[in-house]
A and B are shown apart, each in its own frame.
Chain A
Amino acid sequence: MTDQSPRVVVTGLGTFNPLGTDAATSWKNALDGVSTATTLDNDWAETYGLSVDFACTVAGDPLEFLSRPEARKLDPSGQYAMIAAREAWKDAGSPEVDPLRLATVVGAGIGGVWTMLDQWDIVRERGARRVNPYTVPMLMPNSASAHIEIEFGAKAGSHTPVSACATGAESVAWGMDMIRNGRADVVITGGTDACIHPLPLAGFANIRALSTRTDDPKTASRPYDRDRDGFVLGEGAGILVLESEEFAKARGARIYAYASGRGMASDAHHISAPSPDGQQRAIREAIEDAGIDGSDLKHVNAHGTSTPLGDISELESVRDAVGAEKSDQIVVSSTKSMTGHLLGGAGAVESIFSVLALRNRVIPPTINIENLDENVPLDVAVNEPREMPEGDAAVLNNAFGFGGHDIAVVFTNA
């Protein structure tokens, strides 16, 4: 970006996830170290032979937030995103903005899997005529972005990054770029997914990505623990309202933080295995783009999914990208230890936690660590929250996805 590019600020937060049905509750529960993983209240394991029968489901019923007709036109992933978007917009003070200067960038890692499979069941059991005519607009990956665009009258563009588990952070990154490129003054951005369904569970289980700790689901998501054995599937959405600094200040908005830099890289390596090269390039680019020094980083909200290989290689990437001598003030945490892995929602909810950590000067814990892996190369907030020192600070949020998508976003204090 040039020196003339607008600076981007975060003015609104909203989320619907396993820790809470709003940002304030989610944040409180994150600081309290609440685990949300539970054995699913259904017979999938028995009926289908699923090896993993637990997950992190959202904290509330969407029908307490949406009317029944609204809910019937939205896949669960769209429902979560709409609830979060309304919260974020209200939190931002419902900005009065020219529709031609308002955009949405809301991605989904997988999208309307429930709609697609429910409606396929209807085709088979009751015939094609019974299929909901809203099926396609419900299952398409851009459904959430489109519904939010319509809800808030955003005419500057409606976009849908799809990059698996990097989606939410990539949406934030593109949202920042839209403002910095002058295409919008305000962008509603984030990500969502609702994939706790036997098919994705089976797929993730068979690629050996999921924890199989069925006897103790509460402690199954344990990034950086010596005995971690995979991620726990979660669901939910996170939405941030981004604005140009000038626009936000002119309307007297409350500013949480600056969205200062983003890095985006691809591995060209493997469809599911991570690559340190791409991760490091993304992190370096985000730091450079933010105009900070690596030593300004006080906290990393890590991708940290609780897989044996991924957790350590990510932290080595952070150390190597920042430089070992400059990374001694970084405190790492993976909030996936509490929320599970929200897939397309992950990077967005974790961006929200990054902003709140910066704003409140407290770093949420990584829970369920019984024995810290001796190969962890950075300081981790083990089981307890940590204070973040006062003064200028930067926070890094990483998100990596199947396909070799590497996204890094840097937030700095307002």
Chain B
Amino acid sequence: MAHTDDEILAGLAEIVNEETGVETADVQLDKSFTDDLDIDSISMMTIVVNAEEKFDVRIPDEEVKNLVTVGDAVKYISSAQA
């Protein structure tokens, strides 16, 4: 069953909060993982792996560098699960 974009955003926000302590409310579509949320590359990998499990998708390593903003990640997950 596919998740809506809102559900993906909310789920990502929970993962980001769990892994990094960033408030869920700060995890918005236009926020950059590195520049706005101060998430390093290792934490990004833990977020990716958790997101893969939560949304039952595969995010290849070479795609991760393209996920600059939270919106990029939501969009990728949304299309990957379709």
Contact = CB atoms under 8 A, between A and B. Distances in A.
- State which size class the interface on A falls in: 10 to 19
B53 A134 contact: no
Interface string A250-263: 00000000000000
Nearest to B16: A69
Given A133-B42, A134-B42, A69 B49 contact: no
Interface stretch (B2-10, B18-26, B28-36, B69-77): B18-26
A70 B20 CA distance: 8
Nearest to A131: B49
Q: Chain B: interface secondary structure?
A: helix
A47 interface: no
Nearest to A70: B21
A68 B18 CA distance: 7
B53 A69 contact: no
Contacts of B53: 130
Interface string A121-157: 0000000011011100000000000000000000000
Contact of A67 (B21, B45, B52): B21
B79 interface: no
Given A68-B18, A68-B21, A69-B19, A134 B49 contact: no
A83 B49 CA distance: 29
B81 interface: no
B46 A134 contact: yes
11 contacts: A67-B21, A69-B18, A69-B19, A69-B20, A72-B18, A129-B52, A130-B49, A133-B42, A133-B45, A133-B46, A134-B42
Query: Which 4 residue pairs are nearest across A and B when measured between Cβ atoms?
Result: A69-B21, A133-B45, A133-B42, A69-B20
Contacts of A129: 49, 52
Q: Give the size category of B's interface with A.
A: 10 to 19
Interface string B49-76: 1001100000000000000000000000
A72 B19 contact: yes
| Chain A, interface SS category | helix
Interface in A53-111: 67-70, 72
Contacts of A134: 42, 46
Contacts of A130: 49, 53
Contacts of B45: 133
A239 B30 CA distance: 44
A68 B19 CA distance: 8
A130 B20 CA distance: 18
Contacts of B20: 69
Nearest to B18: A68
Contacts of B52: 129
Given A72-B19, A130-B49, 8 more contacts: A67-B21, A69-B19, A69-B20, A69-B21, A129-B52, A133-B45, A133-B46, A134-B42
Contacts of A67: 21
Contacts of B42: 133-134
Interface in A172-213: none
Nearest to B53: A130
A132 B21 CA distance: 17
Contacts of B18: 68-69, 72
Contacts of A72: 18-19
B55 to A, nearest CB: 14
A277 B8 CA distance: 66
A187 B19 CA distance: 31
B20 to A, nearest CB: 5
A133 B52 CA distance: 15
Nearest to A69: B21
A69 to B, nearest CB: 4
Nearest to A132: B46
B53 to A, nearest CB: 7
A133 to B, nearest CB: 5
Contacts of B49: 129-130, 133
A69 B24 CA distance: 13
A69 B20 CA distance: 5
B66 to A, nearest CB: 19
Nearest to B50: A130
Nearest to A129: B49
A72 B53 CA distance: 18
B79 to A, nearest CB: 20
